Amino acid sequence: VNPDLQRERDNCTFNVTELTNLIDGGAQKTEERRKREEMVLKEGIHLDEVPSEYLSHKEKYELAVKKACYLFKMIRRLQEEENTGMENYQEVLGGSLGSAILRDGSPLTLHYVMFIPTLMGQATVEQQVLWIGRAFNCDIIGTYAQTELGHGTFIRGLETTATYDPDTKEFVLHSPTLTSYKWWPGGLAHTANYCIVVAQLYTKGQCHGIHPFIVQLRDEETHMPLPGIKVGEIGAKLGMNGTNNGFLGFDKVRIPREHMLMKNAKVLEDGTYVRAPSSKLTYGTMMFVRVVLVNDVCSYMAKAVTIATRYSAVRHQSQPKPDEPEPQILDYVTQQHKLAIGIATVHALRLSAAWIWNMYNNVTAELDAGDMERLPELHALSCCLKAISTADAAETVERCRLSCGGHGYMLASSFPLMYGMVTAACTYEGENTVMLLQTARYLVKAWQQAKGGNPLTPTVAYIASVSAGRRS
């Protein structure tokens, strides 16, 4: 070990393992995590024959598919051995372990982050019986297509149509314009053979707004796109070049009525539309992803500050006092300023992520019982937390890169790939300014409620107390 780094470790005033255990949620959790990491890494999936930095765009995708398949094969084995469910996906693929193996993103991420959760949240019991088992086994690979070339966060503006035909008991999916083509979903391009598609539902000549449908995109044997399906990849991006983001268009593609996910709203055989208890329920998957995202960006920040801090202990620079050796750059207060705030931010956002994850689970349980009271509050909070945490993470990674001088610019530092991943999160699942404005709608309503003397939900309750006597 580098002697400077060793000296830093010798001088540390607290028990590092104690803090590790606290971060993991207990000594047993640390042990489990380490065991899992050991088990996954010993498979050697993360090892590259040629550094992936030097591969072409196509080769990067092929390598990502290979790694993702081996990783999923391993998860499947774990599930059989340990008889576990979704949590294995989360633990192995989420956070830092998954991104260690698939450093520039995985083409199968959306299968477990969006496809399966949407089926769990929006499909009927009968539909879940039909699809979830196959999805868990990876007999089918799915993704989630919502965003269109001309329509992003404002999902009520989506143009893709699903028109019900009562004669054949089918929906006809159609992309009426270029701007209605689905654009960006990970794994959509050449990986997934099924997809949850969000489209405007028409029945009996009336539009009922956006609804989710499960659509087969490719033949299960040949993987050829099915008739009427226009699918492909969107091209090279700033980062996430392993995620296989795709575009998708429909030319009057027919799917059975049972392929509309009908846990909430329904279309009966004769075309009668049965409204969902709340239109907000369609937004469940997006909220789930935003909540998960906050945790994910914490992993990237933890990596970034670890790299930058260790480097700062090893690196010496300049000679502020004559006849004395070059100090470690960690001794410069400007460097401490860059690093310490990064470390604190990891803890601050990690605890906020845990808090909102807990809230998400509570609200989801309340939803199942028909109680939707806290749904708008969760939506508002998940929007702004997604925006702030991804923006802060991008800033932290960039600040850490800069703190390593020119060496931080090397791909071998890991900063450029990390920056690509976190900065992508600033725009996917809702561009950050749009997210903040969604929260603002809730805040303005809360302000007006407070002004009218009405009680406020816990996370905005302060508005009533601190604003008393000011600007009211």
Task: Judge whether 272 and 225 are in contact, CB under 8 Å.
Answer: no
φ/ψ of residue 244, rounded to 5 = 60, 50
**Residue 173 Cβ vs other proteins, minimum distance, rounded to whole Å:** 32
Angle at 134 between CA 128 and CA 136, to 5 degrees: 90
Q: What is the spatial distance between Cα 241 and Cα 245, in angstroms, rounded to a whole number?
A: 8
3: enclosing H helix or E strand = helix 3-11
Active site residue 429: yes
Nearer to other proteins, 243 or 413 (CB): 413
**Residue 123 Cβ vs other proteins, minimum distance, rounded to whole Å:** 33
Task: Judge whether 141 and 119 are in contact, CB under 8 Å.
Answer: no
**Residue 282 Cβ vs other proteins, minimum distance, rounded to whole Å:** 23
Catalytic residue among 91, 159, 377, 429: 429
Nearer to other proteins, 234 or 343 (CB): 343
Q: What is the spatial distance between Cα 204 and Cα 292, in angstroms, rounded to a whole number?
A: 39
Kindly report the number of other CB atoms within 10 A of residue 455's CB atom.
8
Spatial strand order in the sheet of 246-250: 182-183, 246-250, 229-233
**Residue 230 Cβ vs other proteins, minimum distance, rounded to whole Å:** 35
Nearer to other proteins, 172 or 437 (CB): 437
Q: What is the spatial distance between Cα 353 and Cα 292, in angstroms, rounded to a whole number?
A: 8
Structure tokens at 115: 């496809």
Nearer to other proteins, 17 or 168 (CB): 17
**Residue 366 Cβ vs other proteins, minimum distance, rounded to whole Å:** 20
376 class by beta-carbon count within 10 Å (0-12 exposed, 13-18 middle, 19+ buried): middle
Per DSSP bridges, beta strands 273-274 and 182-183 are unpaired
Nearer to other proteins, 361 or 433 (CB): 433
φ/ψ of residue 318, rounded to 5 = 70, 180
**Residue 64 Cβ vs other proteins, minimum distance, rounded to whole Å:** 15
Nearer to other proteins, 207 or 444 (CB): 444
Torsion sign, CA atoms 70, 71, 72, 77 = positive
Taking Cα atoms as reference points, which of 229, 228, 226, 259 lies closest to residue 246?
229
Taking Cα atoms as reference points, which of 190, 43, 33 lies closest to residue 108?
190
> Annotated active-site positions, please?
429
